[in-house]
Amino acid sequence: MMQAMGSGRRAAAGLALGLAAMAAGSAAAAQNESTNRVAAETDWSVFVEENPQACWSVSSPKEWVATRGGSEVQVRRGDILLFVTYRPGDNVQGEISYTGGYPFRPDSTVSVEIGSETFQLFTSGDWAWPANPEDDARLKAAMQAGAEAIVTGVSARGTQTRDTFSLFGFTAASAEAERRCQ
């Protein structure tokens, strides 16, 4: 049921995140080199795409660890990014998404811990999202109030990853992205 609820969100988010990937190229580029970067707020950067209009703030983890069978393992991963996106043409305001840099286990979820709260995101390929705009709003509010987000997922190969994102600058970066896409 969660997959069905999020299918439209997945398609729209995939479009914007595809634009983000093309504009940014990599986490380092997303943070430092893209011509679409319009602001930086502590650990978060803000990007704008004009056609179609999309604005997002993004951050990469401060640290991450991968385990298999309870033991730490070395793995290769693509970009690991946490986003909040605004797309006025699709009536999207504050959509949270995450890419773990690998394909997630099919029909799995990703958990996001902020303080004492835990949120579940549904997965599709390399991406994860809250199920609906109400869950986005609750997660966004927790991100604004928190200091760090710990995102845990499982790859298609069974490797568990735990990514720790700083939330310092999230509130300001999210507000800037929202302001630019009103």
CATH number of the domain to which 27 belongs: 2.60.40.1880
The whole-number pLDDT of residue 39 equals: 85
Tell me how far apart the alpha carbons of residues 59 and 8 are, in angstroms, rounded to a whole number.
24
Model pTM score: 0.83
pLDDT tens-digit series, residues 51-77: 889 999 999 999 999 999 999 999 999
Confirm if 173 and 94 have CB atoms less than 8 A apart.
Answer: no
Confirm if 84 and 95 have CB atoms less than 8 A apart.
Answer: yes
Confirm if 154 and 27 have CB atoms less than 8 A apart.
Answer: no
Confirm if 122 and 2 have CB atoms less than 8 A apart.
Answer: yes
CA 123 to chain centre: 12
Residue 27 has pLDDT above 60, yes or no: no
Peptide bond preceding 52: is omega within 30 degrees of 0, i.e. cis? Answer: yes
Candidate from 50-54, 92-96, 127-131, 160-164 with smallest mean pLDDT: 50-54
Domain that holds residue 59: 2-180
pLDDT band, very low/low/confident/very high, at 106 (cuts 50, 70, 90) = very high
Count how many domains the chain has: 1
Residue 80 CA neighbour count, 13 Å, CB half: 22
Bigger pLDDT: 102 vs 6: 102
